[in-house]
Chain A
Amino acid sequence: GAVVSQHPSWVICKSGTSVKIECRSLDFQATTMFWYRQFPKQSLMLMATSNEGSKATYEQGVEKDKFLINHASLTLSTLTVTSAHPEDSSFYICSAGKAANNYGYTFGSGTRLTVV
């Protein structure tokens, strides 16, 4: 149980364009999902908490107008990187889970974004 699917696995886009990344919980309902970013050789940094039916909660220093999060259903959260720039190139990972799950919190497979 607790399978999280993330698409796309990798994407290359031009500067100034927007990219949407999807995160789906396949076998459970997730009222809350999390978006992380990981730069090369660094750890995962939480960007925002995605809440179903309400606004996302962003961590300090993360621009909410640049990283748009939509959690329209109990199984889908999307992260849109708007007007992407090369410095947004990174590995983006979502996670979701159940609080009482002995298997912890499951991560999606991640999205490697390269902005050229």
Chain B
Amino acid sequence: EDKVVQSPLSLVVHEGDTVTLNCSYEVTNFRSLLWYKQEKKAPTFLFMLTSSGIEKKSGRLSSILDKKELFSILNITATQTGDSAVYLCAVSTDSWGKLQFGAGTQVVVTP
């Protein structure tokens, strides 16, 4: 059975702190790993990772994939209150977009 496990489940940080979120996976047919940010409504896309060791960066967010150890991390530096959200990790196992999601990590950034 395919599994995607995120940790921690939740955390509270102060503005300006750095946050590291973890996602490990065990799937039979890995194609890519995706990170999403979910606030009130539907998830918004952050990163899609397919190759090991290549960091993807967007502003204060960055992510990297380790296909040997089967995990990914998402980093948020200099956190702001607007970063408060649930961060979802998902693994794609086919070419059409079927995703298996982890439980998510709730991040709360306090002023």
Interface on A for B, CB 8 Å cutoff? 6, 31-32, 34, 36, 42-46, 49, 93, 95-97, 99, 102-110
Contacts and interface: CB of A to CB of B under 8 A. Distances in A.
Given A34-B97, A46-B99, A106-B45, 9 more contacts: A32-B97, A36-B101, A42-B103, A45-B101, A49-B96, A95-B97, A99-B95, A102-B48, A107-B36
B104 A43 contact: yes
A113 B59 CA distance: 35
B42 A49 contact: no
Nearest to B48: A104
A34 B48 contact: no
B68 interface: no
Interface in B35-88: 36, 41-45, 47-48, 88
Contacts of B47: 104
Nearest to B44: A107
Contacts of B44: 107
Q: At the interface, is chain B mostly helix, strand, loop or mixed?
A: strand
A31 B94 CA distance: 14
A26 to B, nearest CB: 15
Given A44-B43, A46-B98, A104 B103 contact: no
B97 A44 contact: no
Given A93-B42, A110-B42, A105 B97 contact: yes
B100 A46 contact: yes
A105 B102 contact: no
A31 B32 CA distance: 20
Given A43-B88, A43-B103, A109 B41 contact: yes
Contacts of A107: 36, 42-45
Nearest to A93: B42
Nearest to B90: A44
Contact of B88 (A34, A44, A105): A44
A95 B34 CA distance: 14
A95 B99 contact: yes
A75 to B, nearest CB: 15
